[in-house]
Structures are given as structure tokens and as C-alpha cells.
Amino acid sequence: MADDPLIQLSTGFTSFATHDPGSWDAHLRRARLLDAAGVDRLAVSDHVVFGERMEEYGKPELGGRAGGSQPTGPDGHWLEPLTLLSVLAGMTTHIRLATNILIAALRRPVVLAKSTATLDVLSAGRLDLGVGVGWQREEYEAAGLDFQGRGRLLDHTLEVCRTLWREPRAAYHSDELSFTAIHMMPKPTAADGVPVWISGTVNPRVIRRLARFGTGWIPWGPDADDLPAAIRRMRQGLEDAGRDPAGLQVVGGLPVRRGDGGGIDLRHTIEAIPRLVESGATDLRFQLSLPDDDAQAADQVHALVAAFRAEVGRPGPEQV
């Protein structure tokens, strides 16, 4: 494990509230705290609008998760993720800024290409664009888009973004859109464009999307629950599609165990890391409800990061 520099620690970052919190300052302070502690990546979620059939989140056939439920009702307050990450980019220095996931097809591709390239440049190349098709028909309908065609819409969006990110004089032709001699600057910091992480279960559509666009994979549903088997199937699928799976990053959930006093049980939390790494996970993602007191919250996160880095053989932030 000590020889693998790709093993990183990330966290889901709360960007929503059941009711109007009045101020989001406490959320923003958490981002500074995570950055200072040496967490590698934070990931924010996305909903543009809601309908009223919230129970459909629990239907895997629509893209939801069996037994799952949305954390808010239809009037929950959800911050737009790219806007939020732009604010966080100016408040942090090292932590990578990710979407998990952006429903990318809801945005016009040319505008998404521009906004993500801008955010990537202004954050010194810290953006990771996690994308998926989502589960809610009403979001597509409100955007004037066909929910049934959401997979193709996502592929089209990524095709246009990649073209504009990479080509100095861009041209693109498809059934949805055609243009020639188009210039878009600035380009993202990496020559290949903003890193794209594909979310989904192992199926032919997701495998094709990963093979074409993926820097990383965000397993979903039953594949997130049985990561070793899912990663084996994913790698075989990529090989069958003609792509070498070596180097593809994979998100794996790191459960945070609590002790009797309510604090983090570091020993039992860290015990899960070797199995996750052995399975092929490279981005170990934790969810942690932190105390309201900033000092106590900082102590918990610093302790978790230190224990993680000791386990995987990485130096602490102050040693880098």
C-alpha cells in the first residue's frame, strides 16, 4: 500500500438543507477545515429542481437506489454545485473539488464546457467532474429534455465538452448539434480536459461511457455494496471494450465507526482500508457528521486524516 500514491481520502460535502438554514457560513467553514486537515477531495451533489414523486428515488429502474430515500423533500434547499465549488475554490488551497454527481445533461454543453474550464483554471486544476444521468423525470421535463433519452444526452454533453476543452479550433457534428471553427478559451489546465468521473452500475452503457470519457468510476447501487465483484466486472468490461483499465480511479465507501463516547473509533474505521484498497478502490470516501464546535470538528478530521495517511503510507500535509 505504501507504494501506491493514488490512494486518496475524500468526503461527501453537504450542500443541501431540509429547511432554509438562514446562513451557509457553517458549511463553508467546514470546507476550510477539510482543506487544512489534508482531506484530498470533497464532493457535492446536484439537484436543479424537484417534482413531487420523491419515492421514485427508491426505484433502480429509473436510476435510483433500492430502499433509498432523498435527504430532503421537494422544498429542500440545494445549492447549485458548480457555483458552490467556485466559492469553495476561493476559500481553499489544496483539496480537490468534485461533483458527485452533476446531472450534466441538464446544462447546455457549450456553457458547461466554459464554466467547468473556468473553474478548473481558477482553482489551479482542482476540479473533478463526476457525472451521471440522475433518476428524476421532472428535472429533465423542466429543462425541456427527454428523460428517456438521458443516456444519449449525457454522452452528447461529454462529447461537446471534450471537443471544446481539447481543440483550439473546434468542430463537432452529431444528430443533436453541429458547429465548425469554434474557439473557446481558457482551456482546462490538463491537456485532456477536466477529469471526468462516470457514475453508474456495470452495464453496457456505463462501460462504453467509462471507456470513452472516464478518469474515474463512481459505483452506484448494488455495485457500491459489493465493490470487489463490481470492480472485477468493470475491468473486464473495459478490456472487452478495448480500453486498459489500469489507472482508472474508483470510489469506495469508507464507513466511519463511532466509539462509545460518540467520537470516531479510528482503529475500527482504519481496519476497513486494506480490504477496500485490495478490491481496487483508490478514492476512499467517508461521510462524517461533525460537531458544531469548529475546534472539536477539526480535531476529529485531523485525527482521521492522520490515521488514514499512516495506514496507506503517505506523508502528512505538513510533510509534503
Q: Is the pTM of this model over 0.75?
A: yes
CATH of the domain at 13: 3.20.20.30
pLDDT at 217 over 80: yes
Which pLDDT tens digit goes with each residue over 122-175? Answer: 999 999 999 999 999 999 999 999 999 999 999 999 999 999 999 999 999 999
* In a domain? residue 27: yes
pLDDT at 260 over 90: no
Q: Positive or negative CA dihedral for 82, 83, 87, 90?
A: positive
pLDDT at 2: 39
* In a domain? residue 320: no
User: Residue 314 — very low, low, confident or very high, per pLDDT cuts 50/70/90?
Assistant: confident
User: Residue 317 — very low, low, confident or very high, per pLDDT cuts 50/70/90?
Assistant: low
pLDDT at 318: 56
Distance CA 249, CA 252 (A): 10
pLDDT at 151: 97
Smallest CA-to-CA distance from 232 within 217, 253, 215 is with 217
Tell me the average pLDDT across 80-89. Answer: 98
pLDDT at 320 over 50: no
Q: Please give the residue that has the higher pLDDT: either 56 or 261.
A: 56
pLDDT at 261: 76
Domain that holds residue 308: 8-312
pLDDT at 262: 74
pLDDT at 1: 42
Beta bridge partners of 31: none
Which pLDDT tens digit goes with each residue over 285-295? Answer: 999 999 999 99
* In a domain? residue 319: no
The alpha carbon of 66 is separated from its chain's Cα centroid by a whole number of angstroms, namely 20
Distance CA 224, CA 231 (A): 9
Mean pLDDT of the chain: 95
pLDDT at 78: 97
Distance CA 305, CA 143 (A): 40
* In a domain? residue 288: yes
111 CB-near residues (< 8 Å, 6+ apart): none
* In a domain? residue 65: yes
How many folded domains does the chain comprise?
Answer: 1
3-state helix, strand and coil shares in percent for the chain, rounded to the nearest 5: 40, 15, 40
